[in-house]
Amino acid sequence: MNMVRTAMLLAVMTALFMGVGYLIGGTGGMAVAFVIAAGMNLFSYWNADKMVLKMHRAVEVDERTAPEFYQLVAGLAQNAGLPMPKVYVIDNAQPNAFATGRNPENAAVAATTGLLNSLSNEEVAAVMAHELAHVEHRDTLTMTITATLAGAISMLGNFAFFFGGNRNNNGLGIIGVLAAMIVAPLAAMMVQMAISRTREYSADRRGAEICGQPMWLASALQKIAMGAKRVVNEEAERNPATAHMFIINPLNGQNMDNLFSTHPATENRIAALQAMAAEFSGRAVAQAAPPSPVADRAGPRSSGQGSSGPWGRGGADRRRGPWS
C-alpha cells in the first residue's frame, strides 16, 4: 500500500512539475521539465534522505559522541523490532525531530539540540519512538521524496520569475510566468494535501506502544508545540517543503486553515494519547503525571549517570551538545 501511495504521489508531483514547465516554456518547457522530473524521481529515491539531512545541517552521532542518546534510540529500535537507524543531531534551539530514509534498513532519525536540552529523558524517548514508528510504517520514503520534489517545484517557480522573458513562443506569456510564480509558493501546500495527516495519529499510537507510555509523548508534544511557536527554525523556514517531516510543524507564526495544515492539531493528538492511556486500565500510566523537565534526566534507559541526559553530556556542559 505504501508503494502504491508513493507511486501516486510521484506521478502527481511529476505532473505538477511538468505543468509549471509548460507555463514557463510551453510544450518545449514541459518536455524539459519531464526529463528533469524523471531524473529527480530516480535521484531522490536514492539520495533525498541525505539532501534533507544536509538542508538541516544534521550531524551524525554514535556511541562515542552521544552515548546515552544513541543507546536510547538503540533500545527503542530493539523494542520496535527495527534495524538500528543512523542517529543525527541538529544544532537548532527549536525542539523538534524527524525521520528519513527509503526503508527501515536505510533509515535515519534526527533530533534538535533544543529537543534534547528542554525535554526529559522520558519525553525524548517518546519522541524518538514516534519517529521510529514512521520508519516502521515506511512513511519516510513518501515524506522525503515529497520534500525534495516540492523544493524543486519552488525553484522552478523562482526560475520563472528571473528568466520568464526568455521562454519560447509556445509559452503563455506573462500570464504563464505569473501562474508559475503563484504555483511555486503553493508547492508546500500541495505537499500538505498529498500526505494524509492521519499518519501522525498512527505514528503517535505506535510510538506510545514502543516506549510504553502514551503520556510521555503527550507531554512532549505540548512542549514541542510551545517551543516551535517561540523559536524560529531558520533552516525549516528556508526549506518549508520539509515541514511535514517534523513531529510538530517547525514553521513559525502560521495562520493557515487546518484544512491545509501539515499536522493535526496538537490538542487533538494529545487527546488521542490520553484516550490511549485510559485504555491501559489498571496500569500506572493512566494516572501518571507528565514527566518534569527538571526531573532526573538519566531516565530508565541511561547508564545511571544522574543528570547527564540521553545526549551524553552533563551539567552546564550539556548545552554544548554531542557535536562539540
Please give the C-alpha separations between residue 314 and each of 298, 306, 308, 309, in angstroms, as whole numbers: 10, 8, 4, 7
SS3 at position 75: helix
With 0-12 / 13-18 / 19 or more C-beta atoms within 10 angstroms meaning exposed / middle / buried, residue 51 is: middle
- Cα–Cα nearest to 97, from 228, 271, 210: 228
What is the rounded distance in angstroms from the CA atom of residue 201 to the CA atom of residue 249? 14
Q: Do the Cβ atoms of 107 and 138 come closer than 8 Å?
A: no
200 is in an annotated binding site: yes
Q: Which helix (H) or strand (E) holds 106?
A: none
The number of residues in the chain equals 324
134 is in an annotated binding site: yes
Q: Of 122, 131, 136, 235, which is the active-site residue?
A: 131
Which residues touch 136 (CB under 8 Å, ≥6 apart)?
80, 82, 104, 206
What residues form DSSP beta bridges with 107? 101
Please give the C-alpha separations between residue 221 and each of 131, 206, 266, in angstroms, as whole numbers: 13, 15, 7
Please indicate whether residue 131 is annotated as part of the active site.
yes
**Looking at residue 246, what DSSP letter applies?**
B
Element counts in the chain: helices (H) and strands (E):
11, 4
Q: Do the Cβ atoms of 118 and 139 come closer than 8 Å?
A: no
CA atoms lying within 13 Å on the CB side of residue 274: 11
56 is in an annotated binding site: no
Q: Which residues are annotated as a binding site for Zn(2+)?
A: 130, 134, 200
- Report, as residue numbers or ranges, the catalytic residues: 131
Q: Which residues are annotated as a binding site?
A: 130, 134, 200
